[in-house]
Structure formats: structure tokens, C-alpha cells
Amino acid sequence: MFHLSVQSWFFLALWVVALTSAVLWGQSFRKRQRNLMGNMAIYFGLSATILFVAVGSLATKGLNYGLDFTGGTLLEVGVYRQVSVEEVHEALKGFKQPVLGEPLVQVGADMVADGDKQYQRVVVRVTRAESLPDGGKELRDQEPTALKNHLAAKFGEMKELSTASIGPTVTGELRYHAFVAMGVAMLVQGLYIFLRFGFQWRYGIAADIAILHDIVIMLGLYSLAGRQLDSPFVAALMTVAGYSVMDSVVIFDRIRENDQYYGGKKPFPEIVNTSVNQTMTRSVNTTLTVLITLVAIYFFGGSSLQNFAFALLVGITSGAYSSVFVAAPSLVIIDKYFKSAPKPVVSYTAVASDEVDPVYEETGTDAPKRRRVRGMRRRL
């Protein structure tokens, strides 16, 4: 039996209901088409509301940076008895010299043999509640030893396994490289889409708008929930950026195919709406397969994976939404003000036999002879 609180079971039930409803809604697009692009104002209004809450939280509460970004101390010990994460957290509350920030605790699932004894591996990542003059938050001098003695007083005999500190110089480099990685990823993705869709920059701009939408929402909701930002969060951020643009590319590819098929006979917003309806079931099903796994990791994967799973749950949900309700409408708006230029394309028409160049004559069939002609079609 899984040991979950009543609150956790309640939220798990809500997720099950939400996922079931999403499946039914996605399957309904096989039977009926909806005027999705006709309701762009509603989608933009919803996104604006969520973004307002996210930016408001970032401005008022800020981000709760973890040890990877603020500096801190990682203490690994072996406790010669079984302890839980909650017990370690409770023990750390009594340590006041210095006052600690929110700690991150991991405990081993199995006991490790040590001669005729066995110990449980406990990893504690701690930071100071207030920064040092040089900006660091790691424990210094005799403070790590004092923390180990404090834990030993609570849990009895312990074995010291390792102690490591991260200073402000290292954390500054981590923050810098995280921003650079995100910027380079967006630039390269935009360039790839630009090349993939026939040098049409509007597709790349629409995809990057959706990615920025997802990044701000992820950061804002992380701030609102008070969760710690660490290196796994950066990995989750990059994963969500890749997932969001992947879903957008699938929709854009269908838009391009339909635009080429109709050849300007349908208004572009109508073509986008048709394309989104055609890909909606696929988008919903793909997203749900990911979300089901993430929900399982979040509720049953242990406390050490919850932050990572939470970031992906928020980001993947936002990414699936933005691909359909942000990227596609943005493409319609961009096309409204910046029409793409037509280019000559090759097509074929039936003509009289005496007009056909011998090189194009068909033999052995009853099909009409054809010649190559040039026309104008909307450039994709």
C-alpha cells in the first residue's frame, strides 16, 4: 500500500478525472470539427491571466534558489538505524547555528553492510537562511561538524561518508550557463524551423512565442509553489522547450500541407483551423502518455523526484496547450500583417497532342499527353 496523505490522494483523484476528460475531449475531434481559431481572444485572455499570476509571483515572491544556484553544503552520513525523510527534516529544525534555509533530504531505500553492522545512507543538502558577505550560503569552519554532531545527538551513532561545499563562484557560473543554454536552444530551434519550412520566419517566431509562454509559466508557478530551483529544474526547462516545439512543428507541418493542397483557395485562418482540428487527437494522446508517467513519478517516486516531476507536469501541460492555442493563433496573426510572397511552382495540365514536346510523351497508356507549365502558388 502506498503511503500518501489524504491531500495527495485527493490531488491524484483530480489528475485522474482531468486526464480522463482530456481523453474524451481529444477523441471527439474525430467526429466533429470546432472553430478553434474563431475563439483566439479567449485563449489569449486565459494565457494573459496565467502569465499575470506567474509574473506577479516572480515580482513579489521571487524564486527559491536551491543549493546549486546559491551555494551550500552537502552532507552524507550513514545512520545505524532506519530513519525517514520526515524525521531528518524535524531534526534539522532544531539546528540554529547558523539558521538553515529549506533543506533537501534523501534517504537510502536499503541498509548498507558495515562489518557486523548496517547503516542507512542519508544525504542532506543545506544552505544558510541568510547569505554571507560574499554572497555564499555554504556552511564554513566548524559549522558542518556542528551539524553532524547535532544529527548524531538525534539519531545516535553515525558514520561520516562525505562533506562538500559549493561556493558563490561556482553557482554564478551555473546560472550563467543555464541562461546561455536556454538562449542557444531557442535560437537554434527557431533557425531550424525557419529552414524546415521554406525560409518562412513566421513559423519560427510563432514557435518561440509558445516556448517563452511556457518558460514564464513554469518559473512563475514554481515561484508560487515555493519550490527550490536546482539543476534538475534546468533539465526540465530544456525538456519542455523541446517538447513544445516538437508539438508545434507537427501542427505547422499539417498547416503547410493543407495550404499547399488548397493553393490559396481557402483563407489562411480557415486552413490553420482545419489543420489544428486534424492533429488535435494526436496531440492530446501524445501529451497524455507523458503526463500519466509524470503523475506516477510525482506521487509514487519519492520526495527526491517530486520537484523534477512537478516542473515537467507544469511544463508539458503548458507546452501542449501553447502549441495549439498560442503558436497556431500567433501564426494566424503574423500572417495577417506579413503575407508570404508567392513563388513559381511546377504543375501539369492536359494539352493537345500536337503541342507536346516529344520528351514528355507517354507511351503504352491511354492517359492524356501532358506538358510542364508554370504557375503561381502561395509560398509556404
Cα separation of 15 and 174, whole Å? 34
pLDDT at 261: 84
Angle 247-248-251 from CA coordinates, rounded to 5°: 90
Evaluate whether 218 touches 314 at the Cβ level (below 8 Å): yes
Quick check: 46 pLDDT over 90? yes
pLDDT confidence of 168, banded at 50, 70, 90? low
Q: Count of residues for the chain?
A: 380
Q: Where in the chain is the domain with CATH 3.30.70.3220?
A: 72-166
What CA–CA distance (Å, rounded) separates 209 from 322? 9
Q: Select, from the ranges 41-45, 180-184, 227-231, 260-264, the one with the highest average predicted confidence (pLDDT).
A: 41-45
Binned at pLDDT 50, 70 and 90, residue 333 comes out as very high
Domain with CATH 1.20.1640.10 in the chain: 6-65+171-337
Q: Which residue has the cell 517516486?
A: 301
Average pLDDT score, the chain:
81
In whole angstroms, give the CA distance from residue 99 to residue 219: 27
Would the pLDDT of 355 be above 50? no
- As a whole number, mean pLDDT of residues 49-70 equals 87
Q: Which range scores top for mean pLDDT: 111-115, 170-174, 196-200?
A: 111-115
Confidence of residue 44 (pLDDT cuts 50, 70, 90): very high
Name which residue leads in pLDDT, 266 or 167. 266
Written as nine digits, the cell of 339 is 503575407
Superfamily of domain 6-65+171-337: Multidrug efflux transporter AcrB transmembrane domain (1.20.1640.10)
> Please, which pLDDT band fits residue 349 given cuts at 50, 70 and 90?
very low
CA distances from 337 to 48, 62, 325, 329, 379 (A): 22, 37, 19, 13, 16
Q: Find which of 33-37, 174-178, 276-280 is predicted with most confidence, using mean pLDDT.
A: 276-280
Q: Please give the full DSSP string across 29-65, using - where no structure is assigned.
A: GGT-----GGGHHHHHHHHHHHHHHHHHHHHHT--EE
Query: Across 125-129, 217-221, 223-227, 238-242, which has the greatest mean pLDDT?
Result: 217-221
In this prediction, what percent of the chain has a pLDDT beyond 70?
Answer: 86
What lies within 8 Å, CB to CB, of 344 at 6+ separation is 374, 375, 376, 377
Residue 335 reports pLDDT greater than 90: no
Region 310-319 average pLDDT: 91
Percent above pLDDT 90 for the chain: 16
Q: Give the residue-averaged pLDDT of 36-61.
A: 92
pLDDT at 228 over 70: yes
pLDDT greater at residue 294 or residue 228: 294
pLDDT of residue 3: 60
The residues, ordered by sequence, that sit 6+ positions from 8 with a Cβ below 8 Å of its Cβ are: 299
Asked whether residue 172 carries a pLDDT value surpassing 90, the answer given is no
250-286 pLDDT per residue, tens: 899 999 888 888 877 888 899 999 999 999 988 888 8
- Per the CB < 8 A criterion, the answer to whether 65 and 131 are in contact is no
How confident is the model at residue 170, as a pLDDT? Answer: 57
pLDDT tops 90 at residue 55 = yes
C-alpha grid cell, residue 122: 542519508
Tell me the three cell numbers of residue 190.
Answer: 527557431
The crossing angle, in degrees rounded to 10, of helices 231-262 and 328-337 is: 50
> 315 to each of 32, 136, 233, how far by Cα in Å?
29, 30, 11
Map residue 14 onto helix, strand or coil: helix
Q: Which of 192-201, 210-219, 362-371 has the lowest mean pLDDT?
A: 362-371
CB 330 within 8 A of CB 209: yes
Q: Which helix (H) or strand (E) holds 26?
A: helix 6-27
Q: Which CATH architecture has domain 72-166?
A: 2-Layer Sandwich (3.30)
Strand 228-229 versus strand 64-65 pairing type? parallel
User: Does 293 have pLDDT greater than 80?
Assistant: yes
C-alpha–C-alpha distance, residues 174 and 247, integer Å: 29
